[in-house]
Structure 1
Amino acid sequence: MSVWFITGSSRGFGLEIARAALAAGHQVVATARNAETVRERFPAVDFPSVDDALLTVALDVTDPQSIQAAVDAAVDRFGRIDVLVNNAGTGLLAAVEESDDAAVRAVYETNVFGPLAVQRAALPVLRRQRAGHVINISSIVGFATAPGWGIYASTKFAVEGFTETLHTELAPLGIHVTLVEPGFFRTDFLDPASLHTGPDTIDDYAPTAGAMRTTAASLNHAQPGDPAKAARAIVELAATPEPPLRLPLGTDTLHAFDDKLDTFRKEMDAWRHVALATDHD
């Protein structure tokens, strides 16, 4: 039995991961801005041991005091944290030029500074234990971006960068680190409550970012990925002795990653002679 600490647990991946962890017999600290909303998602009829195994705590990833209070509550209740899942996030779908400073900063506050703050609060617990697993939820566009997703992708690129480094820094301490990179899964991520599109558009981007907005709207609640299956895969992953640094989820993610790797290799080979010519003689 492990203790799971999950941010953004009121809906989407966070909720499904919490459900899967409870169903597997683990103890779960499910956090969100509104703890009561989270608790309502776990009726006793579906989770008979919910009162013993589930702790719901209010946590705003942009508020360091609420983060520390949630970590303290988790340790007070269960004595440890074994798996930290940084899942809370928000989206922005707009051309890079269409994205004003306020919108960009808001996405970075939640998607980048949020998980960094949660890690800073939780990692002392894992380091004392010399054991644990940090799972940071990235995205298909954290590796292979597309028109309209530039700002959101840049936050996930940041998550990928610090998570790769965290992997090397925590490995000697017995702590695993994994990036989960889901494609389009049938959550409410494409709903207006989660995905912001900005008030202003530029006509020149209609064939690129504009087309992506149309595609996202048509795909909403018809995405190919099953979030319950993804959640079970994540819970199973945490039970393996040698988890991977990266776990791409969904056929769309695999196809996008294969295409980017092929393009990257071809371009690198074509320009290798330039790279090799820039060292000192």
Structure 2
Amino acid sequence: MNAPGRPPAEDAQRSGPGATGRGSAAGSGTPGRSALAGRRVLVTGARGTFGQHLGAALTAAGAHVVGLDLHADPDATPAVLGVDLTDPAATPPAVAAAIDRLGGLDLLINNAGVGGPAPAELPPDEVVRRQIEVNLLAAWRTTAAAMPALEAARGRVIFVWPAGWPCCRCRSQPPTGSASGRSSRTPTRCATK
């Protein structure tokens, strides 16, 4: 059975034995064409540095992109819809508006996040609660709101985590990913044990 809006040959290619899927140009079915060309992508945290670069790269690869962030920027490329993803009532309608604008959804990139160290020897404070709300619960909420569209298109979800989160570390150890001790927005694996 074909996903809505996807050509039958592409669906067969993705699900057949040895299919390369969407992760490479080889899986696009057209020589020289990006595997992202024509894909409908939603990026959270789209106005941040990493989100802006991600949106630009996806757009350059031929994807149709809409972003979500705290403050709207409808004139940006890609366009950004405003929503507080920590608000349970606001997230589903914003995700639905983005999906409507895209005409469906092939890929959700949960990029919104806040970082910083969370020393294990200190009790959780408001900073830690905010990290959990943004990095975990907002991403979960966004994914749940997007799931019907993702399932219909046999889509994918990518989570981008602030470096070193959700790991707890002692005050004497700088966060992973930066010699200066500042958290970076690169997807890294926690090195602490």
Question: Which residue, out of 113, 117, 127, partners 1:103?
Answer: 127
Question: Which residue, out of 165, 168, 180, partners 1:218?
Answer: 180
Q: Which has more helix, going by share of residues? A: 1
Asked if structure 1 preserves the Cα contact closer than 8 Å seen for 2:116 and 2:182, the reply is no
Q: Distance in 1 between matches of 2:39 and 2:59?
A: 10
Q: Aligned with 1:125: secondary structure? A: helix
Asked if structure 2 preserves the Cα contact closer than 8 Å seen for 1:59 and 1:67, the reply is yes
Report which structure shows greater RCO (CA 8 Å, sep ≥6): 1
- Taking structure 1 as the reference length, the TM-score comes to 0.47
Aligned-partner residue type, residue 35 of structure 1: A
1:220–1:92 CA distance, 2 compared to 1 (3 A): closer
Counterpart of 2:80 in structure 1 is 56
- The answer as to 2:51 corresponding to 1:14 is yes
Counterpart of 1:74 in structure 2 is 98
- The answer as to 2:167 corresponding to 1:153 is yes
Shift of 1:140: 5.0
Counterpart of 1:119 in structure 2 is 143
1:211–1:113 CA distance, 2 compared to 1 (3 A): closer
Q: Distance in 2 between matches of 1:81 and 1:70?
A: 14
Counterpart of 1:164 in structure 2 is none
Counterpart of 2:66 in structure 1 is 29
Q: Distance in 1 between matches of 2:182 and 2:99?
A: 38
Deviates more, 1:67-76 or 1:1-10: 67-76
Q: Aligned with 2:68: secondary structure? A: strand
1:1-281 matches, cutoff 5 A: 1-36=38-73, 39=74, 42=76, 50=77, 54-129=78-153, 131-138=154-161, 141=164, 152-153=166-167, 208-210=170-172, 212=174, 218=180, 220=182
Quote the sequence identity (%): 30
Gaps of 5+ in 2: 1-37
1:93–1:21 CA distance, 2 compared to 1 (3 A): same
- Taking structure 2 as the reference length, the TM-score comes to 0.66
Deviations 1:103-139, CA, capped at 9 Å, x for gaps: 322211111111110011000111123x111001135
1:100–1:141 CA distance, 2 compared to 1 (3 A): closer
Asked if structure 2 preserves the Cα contact closer than 8 Å seen for 1:55 and 1:74, the reply is no
State which structure, 1 or 2, has the greater radius of gyration over its C-alpha atoms. Answer: 1
Q: Distance in 1 between matches of 2:164 and 2:124?
A: 20
Q: Aligned with 1:35: secondary structure? A: coil
Shift of 1:211: 5.3
Q: Distance in 2 between matches of 1:104 and 1:218?
A: 21
Q: Distance in 1 between matches of 2:118 and 2:80?
A: 34
Shift of 1:99: 4.2
Shift of 1:217: 8.3
Aligned-partner residue type, residue 132 of structure 1: G
1:137–1:71 CA distance, 2 compared to 1 (3 A): same
Q: Distance in 1 between matches of 2:107 and 2:134?
A: 20
